[in-house]
């Protein structure tokens, strides 16, 4: 969903499109959606946005490749990337 926002700029009106809803990867069987029209709410939703950005950019995958993992592979529950 997009809405139009009209602002004053240098003596004339300018119009910008602003996304008010974002869909994220599902969390299990639950649909995850962010909408920014609720006023003041918890900031925990920023973690979902961060997750999406890091998955799409691969920044943690690339950063994890900088580490040498000396742990016993048979006892490892979480990869270095997951720990980051």
Domain ranges of the chain: 21-83
Q: What is the mean pLDDT of residues 6-20?
A: 56
pTM: 0.42
Residue 9's contacts (CB-CB under 8 Å, 6 or more residues apart) are: none
Residue 3 confidence (pLDDT) above 60: no
Residue 78 confidence (pLDDT) above 80: yes
pLDDT value of position 24 = 78
CA distance 9 to 68: 53
pLDDT (tens digit per residue) in 18-62: 666 677 777 788 888 777 666 666 666 677 778 888 888 888 899
CA distance 58 to 52: 10
CA distance 6 to 59: 36
Residue 16 confidence (pLDDT) above 70: no
- Position 4 confidence tier, pLDDT thresholds 50, 70, 90: very low
């Amino acid at each position: 969903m997009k809405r139009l926002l009209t602002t004053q700029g240098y003596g004339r009106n300018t119009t910008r499109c602003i996304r008010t809803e974002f869909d994220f990867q599902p969390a299990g069987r639950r649909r995850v959606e962010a909408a920014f029209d609720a006023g003041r709410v918890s900031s925990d939703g920023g973690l979902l946005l961060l997750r999406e950005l890091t998955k799409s950019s691969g920044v943690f995958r690339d950063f994890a490749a900088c580490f040498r993992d000396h742990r016993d592979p048979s006892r490892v529950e979480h990869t270095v990337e997951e720990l980051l």
